[in-house]
Structure 1
Amino acid sequence: MTSRLPWFPEYIRENYPARGRLFGDFLGGLWAAACEALEIPVDQAVRTTRMLRGLLPSWSGDPIGIKPARPSYVAGDGFPAELSVNWSGDHPELRLLFDTLGEEDPDPAVDTGETRYWGRIHELFTARAGRPSTAPLWHSVAWRPPSRIVHKSYFGLYEWPLSHRYAAVGEAMDRLGLTPAWDDARRRVEDAVGEREIEFFAVDVAEGADARVKIYYRNHNADVAELNRIAAVAQRHDSAAAAAAYRVLTGDREGAGEAALSCLAFRSGLDRAAEATTYLRLPALASGDAEAVDRTAALLAGEGVDPGRFRALAAALAPGPLAESRGLLELVSHRAAGRRGDVTTYFRFPVFDQLVPVDPA
């Protein structure tokens, strides 16, 4: 199976007026706008915006040009970051994910030698371990007020042959004592109908029993029933609740759209995957952002979450009227593991003039 550049819908989106601004200023402005839409107290918003600016890689000091100097896999136009919000719990969790674009410092905010997982596995995803190349590295910061910021790291495996992906993941899971759970999950996934490939390996950069390891699959031409079967690999998964959520997001279609993702989360002490999250790409399933926002709002309402702040957030982040926008709300994920409202909305920001071409292979 060949690697390729990111999937994206075949349309040109309205661009943000970002040319000439520094990446860090632009992302800090989006974070601040999200804080305001989510009704986060001003002092907390100012503090975390300042903190975020200090966590971004050195490219955050570069000006945004007509096209990316180093295209990222994060977004179809090569922009190296996305913003997302998880809506479970009493307070939404605000997140920013960003590509390190090859910078060596794994994360200026954490001691990688002492975290639960990172220090034991990160070298397995580098050329030093005999891989075809060092895996692209992404980081994210996640903040659920008033708690502290949490860090996560993602290794992109999409450039490697499948044999190297499985070798790196298998060795990492062995070092982390998660081989029985991984063997069980891999057997169940490979027995399922459909075609998919491992695309990311992720770790929570944190101590404690709640730290997770996550494996992401990209599904090819999947239907919602197939996605539900993959999610059912996890120990905690409500298939009926998941099916209902997928129907809302797809508009009752049987197909799941292009490049749907399935994520299995693993925790220490369990002999199978703990939880599963399914990601659907709304541009492939809705006519535009207005319809995508309406469907997501309906899902949130059905999960017991007031969708008012979500609608305010989408409007605040859009480069123009939602009725004229498409591709801002890129992904919506759902996890049916016993916690209502476990929905995350992912926003991408059209900044560059042209989209990154897809490898025809």
Structure 2
Amino acid sequence: MRKVGVVPTSREVSSSPQRWGVFPAHDISFTQFLTSQYRTAAEHLGFSASDVETLITELSVALRPWGDHPIGPCPKVPSFVSADGFPAEMSLSWRERRPELRVLFESLGDEPTPAGCQRAGRSLTERLAERPGVDLHRYHLVEDLFVSEDPRLNRPTIWHSLAWRPGESTRYKTYFNPQAGSTDPADVLDRTTEAMGRLGLASSWSSVRMWMPEMMDRGNEIEFAALDLADSPNARVKVYFRINARSLEDLDAVASLASGHDSERAARVWRSLYHGQDKAEGEEPMVCLAFREGSAQPDEANLYLRLPGNAESDEDAAARTADLMRTEGLDPASYLDMIEALAPRPPSAMTGLQDLLAYRTKAPDRPADIGVYLRFSVYDQPVEP
């Protein structure tokens, strides 16, 4: 999830010590490319052959009809999902030491405009109602708050993700843009507050809302909102904050609003990644607060820490991630093999495949959830602001 204003120019990228690893995918379709990457990752994570084929089919259906189009040499509608405008990313996480594989994407419309993408995203949401376990009741309560008659270029429209791990059904999530109608921080806060009220989360949101003036004064902003498309007591509503000051203090202040956040453990991870400094380099880190019905405050805080600009290469990023996995009792061997298999060139000679390291604590005596977000650069240069 990029921020256009801080994406480096093509000159800066070209002169950096490590070049983006670019995938030669212009002549194949979005679906061919994404399902190939998904298959590679799933096989390295040890998913069964039958599960992999089922998941490939689900992903292919979700990407229709635009997924059948060739990727091409440049994006027709640059997506906010990735720095180069590619409309999808893949991520993997380990919750309770069990692997989960996810794909997030922005649907492309027949009309190559943000409005066309918004229509395609809304249409997919309705089609997902046919999937087992999907419930759109909460989505319909708030959709009108996050769509626009004239959505802006280089901002999110309606995004989706699908996630799967062994022994569970595929889960779907929708992402919204709280800045859809206005970028004014007060308007964004009002829109988010209205949505949380409609979703029955006014009380738990108030524990965050009371701190928002101070948070906004420090430059932190609400970036995304998302909800699980499920009718379940465990279904989440998530609010994402961009930490524009890039400081550990600001990140921890937001994350500490969640009951499960462990500041001490999070600080160790931060300082390990950011070379002992309390200030991050490169693009801003983010925090996601997860809300559930019946809780007095957010249950969880997921930290998203940037790897490019802080790790020397994708090889270095993988090594840092592997060290963290070992600390949490995970064997990183399959992850390291997966990065080697996915990378379009030797990981020691590139950067950008591993974009975000995610870290979430739940209780002192439980392992943290760890995640890595993967970007597939196919267009060779970032989208200009």
TM-score by length of 2: 0.86
Q: Given the alignment of the two structures, is residue 346 of structure 1 paired with residue 346 of structure 2, yes or no?
A: no
Q: Does the CA-based 8 Å contact 2:80-2:156 persist in structure 1? A: no
Q: Given the alignment of the two structures, is residue 247 of structure 1 paired with residue 271 of structure 2, yes or no?
A: yes
CA distance in 2, matches of 1:224, 1:284: 17
- Work out which of the residue numbers 124, 129, 135 in structure 2 matches 1:110: 129
Q: CA deviation at 1:321?
A: 0.5
**Paired residue total:** 355
- Work out which of the residue numbers 102, 125, 128 in structure 1 matches 2:146: 125
1:50-86, Cα deviation, whole Å (9 max, x unpaired): 2211111422111011100111000000000000001
- Work out which of the residue numbers 253, 273, 276 in structure 1 matches 2:298: 273
Superposed CA RMSD in Å reads: 2.3
Q: CA deviation at 1:30?
A: 0.5
Q: CA deviation at 1:39?
A: 1.5
1:89-137, Cα deviation, whole Å (9 max, x unpaired): 3530000000123113142222599435212111221237x99999611
Q: Given the alignment of the two structures, is residue 177 of structure 1 paired with residue 195 of structure 2, yes or no?
A: no
C-alpha distance 67-273 of structure 1, shift in aligned 2 (>3 A): same
CA distance in 1, matches of 2:171, 2:269: 27
Q: Given the alignment of the two structures, is residue 11 of structure 1 paired with residue 25 of structure 2, yes or no?
A: no
Q: Does the CA-based 8 Å contact 2:325-2:331 persist in structure 1? A: yes
| One-letter identity of the residue aligned with 1:139 | H
Q: CA deviation at 1:87?
A: 1.4
* Match in the other structure for 1:201: 225
CA distance in 2, matches of 1:64, 1:6: 25
1:261-303, Cα deviation, whole Å (9 max, x unpaired): 0111111011211111110111021111111111111111111
| One-letter identity of the residue aligned with 1:170 | T
Aligned-residue sequence identity (percent) comes to 35
Q: Does the CA-based 8 Å contact 2:78-2:87 persist in structure 1? A: yes
CA distance in 2, matches of 1:279, 1:348: 14
Query: Matches of residues 90-239 of structure 1 in structure 2 within 5 Å?
Result: 90-101=97-108, 102=117, 103=120, 104-107=122-125, 108-110=127-129, 114-115=135-136, 117-127=138-148, 136-158=157-179, 160-161=182-183, 162-192=185-215, 194-239=218-263
1:152-177, Cα deviation, whole Å (9 max, x unpaired): 11012356312332222111111111
Of 192-201 and 329-338, the range deviating more from structure 2: 192-201
- Work out which of the residue numbers 48, 57, 82 in structure 2 matches 1:50: 57
CA distance in 2, matches of 1:229, 1:314: 33
CA distance in 2, matches of 1:163, 1:135: 19
Q: Does the CA-based 8 Å contact 2:362-2:368 persist in structure 1? A: no
CA distance in 2, matches of 1:24, 1:131: 25
- Work out which of the residue numbers 13, 21, 41 in structure 2 matches 1:34: 41
Segments of structure 2 that go 5 or more residues without pairing to the other structure are 15-19, 109-116
CA distance in 1, matches of 2:39, 2:156: 31
* Match in the other structure for 2:350: 325
| One-letter identity of the residue aligned with 1:26 | F
CA distance in 2, matches of 1:295, 1:351: 25
Segments of structure 1 that go 5 or more residues without pairing to the other structure are none
Q: Does the CA-based 8 Å contact 1:125-1:135 persist in structure 2? A: no
Which secondary structure does the structure 1 equivalent of 2:269 belong to?
helix
Q: Does the CA-based 8 Å contact 1:248-1:298 persist in structure 2? A: no
CA distance in 2, matches of 1:40, 1:131: 39
